[in-house]
Amino acid sequence: MNLTVRFKDFWVGFQENENIFLDILVDRGYRVAIESDDKAKVDLEVVSVFPPYPNVVDRLSSKVNKRLPHMFKQILNDRSNKLEGLRNSLCGRRVFYTGENLRVPLDESISGSLSFDQDNFGTFNAYCPLWYLDLDFYNSRYSARLGIKIQKEDLLKPRVLDLELKTNFMCAFINNPESTRIRAIREFAKQFNVDVYGSYSGNRVASKVEVATKYKFMLCFENDLYPGYVTEKPLEAYMAGTVPVYWGDFGNDQSINRKAILNLADFTSLEEFVLYVSSLSPAEYREIYEEPFLSKVPDISRISEILYPNT
C-alpha cells in the first residue's frame, strides 16, 4: 500500500528519509513517499514543535532578546499551549511528536501523540522518548552526533573495560548551562578535574566518542526532571565508552538498566552523590561499567498503532 508522509516542524538535522517512524511504516508493508510541500495532500503528517510559529514568536520577541538558550523552555511551552491554532494542512492523519519535555496539546486536528508522557491518555498517546530515535529497532542506526552506528545487540550485552584507557576522571559536553548540571560540575571539580566541552565552554570538538573514551565518567544531566523524560544523553554517554553520571527520571520504563547509570535522582543530595561517585573503587567502577545499557529492547507496538493504525 502506498503512503504519503510529511514531517513538519522538526529540529535542524532531523533525517526525513531515515528515522524510526519510516522504519515502522516500511516494516508494516507500506511503500512510503516523503512529501515536503505544505499544500500537497498527504496520508500522514507528523508534526513537532521546533520552527517558530510566527504569531508566537512575534509576541515573545521582546522577551527573547537574543537569549534563546535561556528562554527555550518558556518559548516551547508557550508554543505548545497555542497549537490549537495550528494551520490545517491537507492530511488524513496528524500525529504530534515532541523531543522536548512538553505536554501533549489539546488540539482537535491531532489524531494521536508520541511523547515523553507515560500515560497513554486512553488510546491517544504512546511513550516515545528521544533516545528511541537513536536505537536500531529494525537496522543499525547511525548517530550523526556520535559519528558511530548504534546496534541494540551491543546494548544488551556487557561491555569489557580497559582501565588503562581511562586516564581522566570526568567530561561534560554542555550547550545549555542549566543550573543543576553546572552546580554538579563545580562540586565534582573540587575533588577531580572535570573537562567541559561544547559551546558553553567555547571548546567544541568534532567527535564526542574520540574525546570521551579516555574518561571514566561523562556528566549528562537532563534539562528537567519529569517521569519518562529521558533524552539521548545517557545513551550517548554509554556509547562514548563512559559511565553516565546522570540526572533524570525513568518513570515506569524498565528497558534501561539502572545498574549501568549513576543517577543523582537516586540520592538525597548532590553532596552525597558527588561523594559516592568520587569514592568508587576500581572494582566497583568496573562492575558498573560492564553492565549492559539495556535490560530489554523497548516495545514499540503502541508507537506503531498511534502512528498509523490498521484500517
Residue 89: predicted pLDDT: 56
**Structure confidence at residue 10 (pLDDT):** 92
241, 247, 242, 278: which is closest to 263 by C-alpha? 247
> What pLDDT score was predicted for residue 78?
53
What pLDDT is attached to residue 53? 40
The segment(s) of the chain belonging to CATH 3.40.50.11660 are: 143-289
Q: Extract the C-alpha cell encoding 137.
A: 529497532
The CATH number given to 2-128 is 3.40.50
Residue 219 is predicted with a pLDDT of 98
**Which of the listed CATH numbers 3.40.50.620, 3.40.50.880, 3.30.450.20, 3.40.50.11660 matches domain 143-289?**
3.40.50.11660
Per-residue pLDDT of the chain (311 residues; tens, 9 = 90+): 899 999 999 988 898 998 999 999 999 999 999 999 988 999 999 999 886 544 333 333 344 444 444 444 555 555 544 444 445 557 899 999 998 898 888 888 899 999 999 999 999 999 999 999 988 888 766 666 667 778 888 999 999 999 999 999 999 999 888 899 999 999 999 999 999 998 888 888 888 888 999 999 999 999 999 999 999 999 999 999 999 999 999 999 999 999 999 999 999 999 999 999 999 999 999 999 999 999 999 999 999 999 999 86
Question: What's the CA gap between 44 and 54, in Å, rounded?
Answer: 24
